[in-house]
Amino acid sequence: METQIYFEEKNYEKAYNSIIYFLDHYKKSPYLPQIYKFYCKVIYQFLENFYRRGEIEKILNIEKKEKQRLRIASCGDIFYWLGDFYLNYNFYTLASYYFIEAQENNLKSKLRAKSFLKITFLAWETGEKNIFYELFEFLEKKYGKLLKNEPIYLYVKAIFEVNKNFKKAEKILYAALRSNLSDTYKSILLRIFRNKALELNKIEKAIKYTKNKYFNPEPEDYILLLTKTFSKNKELFEIILESAKRKYPDNLEIKWLEAYYLEKKGDIRNADKLWEEMSEGNYYANELAKSYKKMKEFIQKSQKLVF
């Protein structure tokens, strides 16, 4: 067949034209299964070449023009490719749609597990938590052994287990951190586990997660730990405070917490220095610090009058 010759010569444009001519003129041919097979291969090569050259508009044109024919030909691998394409650009809803289409259109067996894994992952990422738990249970039973070393599988498994068996989930967490899972998702996992540790009152574990190199703490992360330990654990509060000050020495909220803490433990002199610094510096809320300072001075004057 000329289609096969064109394909083997990597003349995909001529192969495509030959296929479309055949499909238009021989709708009941016994060779249709073979033609559709080549059709899927040709479209795959088009997409790969366009993506490699950065010709995104051509990919979108093929998607729009060929979608119905791709279904008729059961080009599951093409739908899987499109799912990955949209996943790379964080279009999660479209990615989910194409991974589901792939499952329903003769996807190669070696890709079925990965496709279902990505559908499960996307259920979590799009906030469909109930669906996520249902999908993961099926994924675990059918593909768990096959996917056990996949970074994204470790990611979703850790999330699934964290509310069921914290000890087991933590082992999966560290396996995920050792894998080539992206740093972004490692950070997300660590935050999930930090929050769970705080919920279980495992403050030291929460601190440990925050100190992990993949966590990348923001000021809010330190503030959360500081507020959790402010009245409960002096030693842990001071450890967290030192780390917070090193990382964010000019953060106003951290300074406020430090000033309150110093007052609480009776170190009025250093607390006053901090309030003075905040009232005179170029801080967003220095007016509040000034107000606090004035109120404190008023109270001190009142006490002198009384006594």
CB 113 within 8 A of CB 146: yes
Predicted pLDDT at 300: 55
The answer to whether residue 233 is domain-embedded is yes
The answer to whether residue 260 is domain-embedded is yes
The list of the chain residues with pLDDT below 50 reads 284, 295, 298-299, 301-307
Predicted pLDDT at 287: 54
The answer to whether residue 281 is domain-embedded is yes
The answer to whether residue 304 is domain-embedded is yes
Q: How far apart are CA 39 and CA 16, in angstroms?
A: 7
The answer to whether residue 224 is domain-embedded is yes
**How many separate domains does the chain show?**
1
Q: If we measure between CA atoms, which residue out of 294, 284, 296 comes closest to residue 260?
A: 296
CB 75 within 8 A of CB 110: no
The answer to whether residue 246 is domain-embedded is yes
> For residue range 175-226, what is the model confidence (pLDDT) as tens digits?
999 999 999 999 999 999 999 999 999 999 999 999 999 999 999 999 999 9
The answer to whether residue 257 is domain-embedded is yes
Range 3-11 contact pairs with CB under 8 angstroms and sequence separation of 24 or more = 3/35, 3/38, 4/38, 7/38, 7/41, 7/42, 10/45
- Residues with Cβ within 8 Å of 7's Cβ and at least 6 positions away in sequence, in order, are 15, 38, 41, 42
Look up the pTM and report it: 0.84
> For residue range 93-111, what is the model confidence (pLDDT) as tens digits?
999 999 999 999 999 988 9
Predicted pLDDT at 266: 87
Predicted pLDDT at 196: 97
Q: What is the mean pLDDT of the chain?
A: 90
Q: Which tokens belong to 280? A: 């005179």
SS (H, E, C) the chain: CHHHHHHHCCCHHHHHHHHHHHHHHCCCCCCHHHHHHHHHHHHHHHHHHHHHCCCHHHHHHHHHHHHHHHHHCCCHHHHHHHHHHHHHCCCHHHHHHHHHHHHHCCCCHHHHHHHHHHHHHHHHHCCCHHHHHHHHHHHHHHHHHHHCCCHHHHHHHHHHHHCCCHHHHHHHHHHHHHCCCCHHHHHHHHHHHHHHHHHCCCHHHHHHHHHCCCCCCCHHHHHHHHHHHCCCCHHHHHHHHHHHHHHCCCCHHHHHHHHHHHHHCCCHHHHHHHHHHHHHCCCCCHHHHHHHHHHHHHHHHHHHHHC
The answer to whether residue 2 is domain-embedded is no
Range of the domain at 280: 217-307
